[in-house]
Amino acid sequence: MQNRPAIVAVGRTKFGEHYGKEPEKLIEEAWLAASQECNIERRDLEACYLSDCFLPITNKLGLEEGFLSELTELHVPMEVTRSVSAALLTACQAIQAGVCSTVLVGGIEKMTDRWDKIRDDLMLLEDPWSYYAGGTPETNHELMLRAYIKKYGVTGENLDKLNVALAQVAVKNHANATKNEYAQFQREITVDQVLRARKAAQKPLGLYDFAPISDGASALILTSEAVAKKFTDHPVYVLGYSSATDYLNFPARDDLTHFAATKIAMKNALKMTGKTPWDLQVVEVYDQSTVMELVSLEDLGFCEPGTAWKSINESCSDYKGYYEINGKRLFVNMNGGLKADGNPLGATGGAQIFEVFRQLRGEAGERQVKSDQTPPRFGCALEFEGFGTKAYVSILGREQE
């Protein structure tokens, strides 16, 4: 890869309810954290790529590029996407093309500013038929779970184990979040709490199976390989990236038990790097629900189809901080995932990259992953837009190859 993109600094806010903070205060906080980390100034930026899903609706900001220009007092190229991963992909391509060498990639969301209507807004990410039929944001997750159980013939005692495995995903992510100062929920939960919530809701998935409504911001500073060493001695390289798209209408897809977009994006990102899934030691997956973490383990190539629940169940029965799959360790959602870290849509992907960046540099504190007493070499982040409608895979490494 020529002009290899490198992340030299990251910043973020705490995720949660920030009703009293304006959007500009949140993104400024994330930017300042990143800029101070590598002593970069606004005048050094040659382009900015910002992401959000709902700011035009929640905060009546219709032309976010102008909003960002005012904040930075810059007139450089600026574009808005729906996810940080999409912004990162665009920034990587700009750097590789030689168009620019220092770029700000950021994300922001203020979902609680429209608390009474935000669930209705989330339905806009589904197909119109589901929207007008009253399909809630949780509907497709339950449909996927039912299809998975049917396709793989999970019954009896195995069905009980699968349901417990999903609960263990939530428990594991909450436990990880207790070590994350930025997490929305910094408290532990139990398998019994998860199961009771499902029973109370009289549904296959309950309160503790889903990520919350959140506010927050995140920022990444991306440079070319040549420029990176001017700002830090320990850049993290973007070794591979890819995206893929699937039908908006979930029931119309060929396979309701997996996300085709994830498989395609992962295959293409790995091809860019020459790596295999098991070269990756730390992974951030988009656990908008516990079902999505389970399915993502299979779609990313770590587990055979229909088997991830077994690995989760066995690993979490005596949890040591990782999933053990085929005798290998995989550290997943060490920041607490969307489930406990929070899910401010436009900023979520930035928090995922933030975590992988910190892990690869050995800066994750109490939740630091270690392999042979050293930080992991490679990691990846999977981010979605919608219910698997778009998937983005970013593979990062502290080494260039």
pLDDT in tens, 259-290: 999 999 999 999 999 999 999 999 999 999 99
In a domain, 108, yes or no: yes
- Residue 400: the pLDDT is 66
Specify the pLDDT at position 59.
85
Number of structural domains found in the chain: 1
Q: Say if 382 falls within a structural domain.
A: no
Whether residue 376 lies inside any domain: the answer is no
Q: Which domain holds residue 76?
A: 5-114+213-231
Residue 374, both tokens: 């050293």
Question: Does residue 61 fall inside a structural domain?
Answer: yes
- DSSP reduced 3-state for 10: strand
The CATH number assigned to the domain holding 81 equals 3.40.47.10
Query: How high is the pLDDT of residue 188?
Result: 97
Backbone conformation region of residue 397, classed left if phi is above 0, alpha if psi is from -120 to 50, else beta: beta
Tell me the residue type at 229: K
Residue 312 belongs to a domain: no
Mean pLDDT by 10 residues, the chain (401 residues): 89 96 93 95 94 90 86 91 97 95 96 87 81 82 97 97 98 98 97 98 96 97 94 95 95 95 98 95 98 98 97 94 94 98 97 98 93 87 96 92 62
Per-residue confidence (pLDDT) for residue 384, from 0 to 100: 97
Is 38 within the bounds of a domain? yes
In a domain, 202, yes or no: no
The pairing of strands 102-110 and 78-81 is unpaired
The whole-model pTM stands at 0.96
Q: What letter represents residue 29's amino acid?
A: E
| DSSP letter, residue 129 | H
- Classify residue 24: in a domain, yes or no: yes
